[in-house]
Structure 1
Amino acid sequence: MEFLVASGIGVLTAAGLYLILRLRTFPVIVGLSLLSYAVNVFLFASGRLAANAPPILNPYKADATYTDPLPQALVLTAIVISFGMTAVIVMIALAAYLSEKDDRIDMTEETGEDA
């Protein structure tokens, strides 16, 4: 099971990095979303979830297993923040597209003259 989760995190990270390196705004936004999903799965997997275990300790059972609630709270917070940041990035990309009529991300300046 650990190999499957680690492979999933690796695939999400690789796909996110590949899409971030594209020269269009939409693949960059999707790549950032995939990277945030990879981080969320990593944080969630770091909690070592136990099946059917409560998120608090039972003081009356010495050998009780429990699920750590901190990674779950971190992932929930990260989901909310990444959703808000994705909305902001989409609005910035939409404004850039409407002003330039193109969604390419080029760092070179185009002049009207041939060099």
Structure 2
Amino acid sequence: MEIITRQNLSQIKTIYFHDAEISTIICDYIEHTVRMPIKLYKRDGMKESEITFENIVNVDISLAELWGAGMYVNGVAAESIEVRTGFNAVLNSTDYFKVCFELNSGDNINIVTSKMVLERT
């Protein structure tokens, strides 16, 4: 299990996401979580894994398929961000980061979270 937080955000670069397959995204509005089953590429083929994002405050998914149909990861970017509530008050701004998965379709999966957990099988 690998846990990514804002404090160790650079570790996301050590996970090989290129060509990983994402076809399902499960959002639990009440629990503020997103689960994403993902098939990660390994030398001996694809391995079923799952990413869980906890304490999410924003999820944005495009489905336009500007480059054609596709569900494979082209690249992943992550950055620290400041989170604000509707009243412009900072909500634990030092805890949050944004992860963007760019798919080979040209679509993006953007998630603002305080914790990302990758469980490999």
- TM bin (shorter chain): under 0.3
TM-score by length of 1: 0.22
- TM-score, with normalisation over the residues of structure 2? 0.22
- By percentage of residues, which structure has more strand? 2
Structure with the largest fraction of helix: 1
